[in-house]
Amino acid sequence: MPLTANDVDRFEASRPRLEAIAYRLLGSAGEAEDAVQETFLRWQAADIDRIEVPEAWLTKVLTNLCLNQLTSARARRETYVGQWLPEPLLAGDPMLGPADTAEQRESVSYAVLTLMARLSPNERAVYVLREAFDYPHREIAEILDITEAASQQIFHRAKKHVAAGKARTEVDEAAARRIVEEFLAAATSGQIEPLVRLLTEDAISIGDGGGKIPAVAKAIEGAVAVARFLRGLFKPGEAKRALAGGAPEVYVWTANGDPAVVAVVDGRVVGVMCLEVTAGGISAVHNQVNPDKLERATAHWAAADHGKPLFNAF
């Protein structure tokens, strides 16, 4: 039976929440949109009059689609060229979802999304539904076809894994801007000492080029090694300009709630560098330059009031 206008409206009212869940689960805006669209097709084919709680039904369908996607994604990432990082979402992107609590904001941070990639699909689903969307374990158990006790155990295990890998400090917009400006001043100074002072001793740098843009294949570890790498990265060069398609305009921004550097060439976002900030300094630099993972950022950037760049790189 064709969907009524009311049926479509009920789905569309749930779309923002579904997209935010799917993004947290998959780490990819494009894959999240695909999962939500497939959920709509399932909704379209269902006997809607027999669905007692549409929101619960939609969440269950979406979550299980994402679990299937995560299982196949793990296999694909075994052959992924270089390091895998999530797709960054710029400030104001509705797919970032709820941000009323510290837990909700943290669950979509770049650091936590990266850590969640190490969790099993079930651990990731329970963590996201409980931590970011405050689903009771009873409902999570129904969504995943597990017991309530199992949901609680999985959540505690997942939360422990995530907590063990992070010590992120939440910063407001003004502090984020100051951190990025200090970072860029140090990175473009030509010296490693200013950068070392901003980094934690065990800082790491990870880049994702997806095999399409050159990026270091393994994580760079240690403040001095990261500082040397960043000094070289920001050093002007004709080859870098050619690779980027021009001299990138560099902006101070936020992505996934974290301080970020956004590089733009002719309106196209060519890089998003997210800084993970702890009480001891910048502990991680995540640099996303895979063009496939920057398409949404480019579309969002075109609609944003981003002002003037801080400077032109390279």
Identify which of 198, 216, 196 has the alpha carbon closest to the alpha carbon of residue 206: 216
pLDDT of res. 37: 97
* DSSP H or E segment with residue 172: none
pLDDT of res. 72: 82
Give pLDDT tens digits along the chain (314 positions). Answer: 678 999 999 999 999 999 999 999 999 999 999 999 999 999 999 999 899 999 999 999 999 999 999 988 766 777 788 899 999 999 999 999 999 888 899 999 999 999 998 899 999 999 999 999 999 999 999 999 999 999 999 999 999 988 876 667 888 888 999 999 999 999 999 999 999 999 999 999 999 999 999 888 899 999 999 999 999 999 988 888 888 889 999 999 999 999 999 999 999 999 999 999 988 999 999 999 999 999 999 999 999 998 899 988 87
Does the pTM surpass 0.85? The reply is yes
pLDDT of res. 163: 85
pLDDT of res. 80: 82
pLDDT of res. 75: 63
CA distance 22 to 65: 9
CA distance 294 to 279: 29
pLDDT of res. 169: 80
pLDDT of res. 216: 87
pLDDT of res. 3: 86
Identify which of 276, 131, 253 has the alpha carbon closest to the alpha carbon of residue 202: 276
Give the residues across from 205 on adjacent strands.
220, 285
CA distances (Å), origin 98, targets 50, 65, 250: 30, 22, 28
Which residues fall within 8 angstroms of residue 62, CB to CB, at 6 or more apart? 18, 21, 22, 35, 36, 39
